[in-house]
Structure 1
Amino acid sequence: MDNAKLVATMRTLALEAGDEIMRIYNGPDFEVKTKSDESPVTEADEAADALISAGLRETFPDVALVTEEQAASHAETASTFLIVDPLDGTKEFVHRRGDFTVNIAYVVDGLPVLGIVYAPAKDRLFYTQADGSSVEETGPFSKAEIGETRPISVSNPNNSSLLVVASKSHRNQATDDYISKYAVEDMKSAGSSLKFCLVATGEADIYPRLGRTMEWDTAAGHAVLKGAGGDVIRFDDHTPLTYGKDTFANPFFIAYSPGVELKAR
């Protein structure tokens, strides 16, 4: 794989998908349908998916592609593949809360090594560079030319006053019970894969997720966090969170800065 070409392609496709998403987001009311798993889907999800998947298949025809909105791709069994959530945080999109992202990642032998997370309503763009290190690009964004970027890095946390981020739409009692094991200075909520990026930039120290997620929800944010010096582990046994699992369903997990003294479940 030509990593530089892949990063450039992912960035361009994410920006193009973001433009399409925002066109629909800022327009009149849009239809919200319900998928078989009871999750919502909109024309923005479908338009962004069509754009991204066509671009990836054209440029990298020999690389397996898994995308949330194409059920046939969920039968993919390759250990190295591209994985896409064209609109992560559809509930945030539907309620026009802004915390939604475009996620594209490249998984090699079960681990996400390159990824991009674009939050078009918040003008925040995070991605791994060809060498795997992570940056945040500042807008305004141009598909023709990369703007100013800054390296991002996880915090050096103070375990007596941690900064915690948790899900905005999927918070539950189990999560609150686990967070209560820590000395927390500040608690914030965020939607979609932005939570990984807040840990990657040091705006939060830890993000525990004790709820259902799929690999397309997490792979891009996981890659960005790894490139910023962070890690994502399973909640049950603290082993690495891996990709290419049956049905692409994740176990509960913890995304964190390595300086955090993790508590037992």
Structure 2
Amino acid sequence: MDYEKLTQVMRRLALEAGDTIMEIYNADDFDVKVKSDESPVTEADEAADALISSGLRAEFPDMTLVTEEQSESHGQTANTFLIVDPLDGTKEFIKRRGDFTVNIAYVENGVPTRGVVYAPAKGRMFLTLADGSAVEEQGPFSKEKMGTARPIRVSDADNGALNVVASKSHRDEATDDYINKYAVADIKSAGSSLKFCLVATGEADLYPRVGRTMEWDTAAGHAVLHGAGGRVVRFDDHSPLTYGKAGFANPFFIAFAPSVDLKSA
């Protein structure tokens, strides 16, 4: 894989998809449908998916592509592949709360090694560079050329006063029970894959997810966190969270800075 090209393509497509999403987001109204799994999908999800998928297939025609909005792609099996959630945080989008992202990632041998997470309503862009390190690019953004980008790194956590981030739409008693095992100074709520990025920048130390997610929800954020020195492990046994699983469904997991003294489930 040409990582320099991959970085440029993923970044450009994320920005183009973000423009499309924001046009619909800022409209007076937009269509919302319900998929077979009872989750919502909007015209923004579908338009962004079409744009990203066609762009990736044009640039990387021989690479397996998995995307949330194309169910026929979910039956594939591969250890190395591109994976896309064109609009992660659809519920936040529908409620016009801004916590939604465009997620594009590259998984190598079951590990997300490159990715981009773009939050167009918040003007925040997180991505991995060709060397695998993670940065946050400062806006305004140009599709032709990357602007100023600052390296990001996970925190040196204070285990007596941890900063935790949890889901805005999926917080439950099981999540709170696990968080209560720690000495917590602050708990933030965030939607979509932004939670991984808050750990990657050191704005949070720990993100536990005790709930259903799919690989397209997590791969890009996982790649950014990995590039910033963070880790993502299974909730049950603390083994690394891997990708390319049958059906692309994730177990419960914990994303964290390695300086956190991780508690058992």
Partner deviation per Cα, 1:148-183 (whole Å, 9 max, x = no partner): 000000000000000000000011110000000000
Paired letter, 1:102: V
Moved over 4 A (4+): none
Please give the alpha-carbon distance, in whole angstroms, between the structure 2 residues aligned to 1:76 and 1:113: 20
Q: 1:198 maps to which residue?
A: 198
Q: 2:216 maps to which residue?
A: 216
The percent identity for this pair of structures is 75
- Post-superposition shift, 1:31? 1.0
Q: 2:88 maps to which residue?
A: 88
Q: Secondary structure at the match of 2:213?
A: coil
TM-score normalized by structure 2?
1.00
Q: Secondary structure at the match of 1:208?
A: strand
- Post-superposition shift, 1:4? 0.4
Q: 1:32 maps to which residue?
A: 32
TM-score normalized by structure 1?
1.00
Q: 1:163 maps to which residue?
A: 163
Q: 2:243 maps to which residue?
A: 243
Q: Secondary structure at the match of 2:112?
A: strand
Q: Secondary structure at the match of 2:232?
A: strand
Pairing of 1:64-79 with structure 2 (within 5 A): 64-79=64-79
Please give the alpha-carbon distance, in whole angstroms, between the structure 1 residues aligned to 2:157 and 2:61: 42
Please give the alpha-carbon distance, in whole angstroms, between the structure 2 residues aligned to 1:183 and 1:201: 20
Q: 2:231 maps to which residue?
A: 231
Matched residue count: 265
Larger CA deviation: 141-150 vs 201-210: 141-150
Paired letter, 1:65: L
Pairing of 1:52-131 with structure 2 (within 5 A): 52-131=52-131
Structure 2's unaligned 5+ residue stretches are none
Q: 2:133 maps to which residue?
A: 133
RMSD: 0.4
Structure 1's unaligned 5+ residue stretches are none
Tell me, yes or no, if structure 1 residue 175 matches structure 2 residue 175.
yes
Please give the alpha-carbon distance, in whole angstroms, between the structure 1 residues aligned to 2:72 and 2:36: 14
Larger CA deviation: 141-150 vs 188-197: 141-150
Please give the alpha-carbon distance, in whole angstroms, between the structure 1 residues aligned to 2:53 and 2:170: 27
- Post-superposition shift, 1:145? 1.6
- Post-superposition shift, 1:76? 1.0
Partner deviation per Cα, 1:200-258 (whole Å, 9 max, x = no partner): 00000000000000000000000000000000000000000000001100000000000
Q: Secondary structure at the match of 1:105?
A: strand
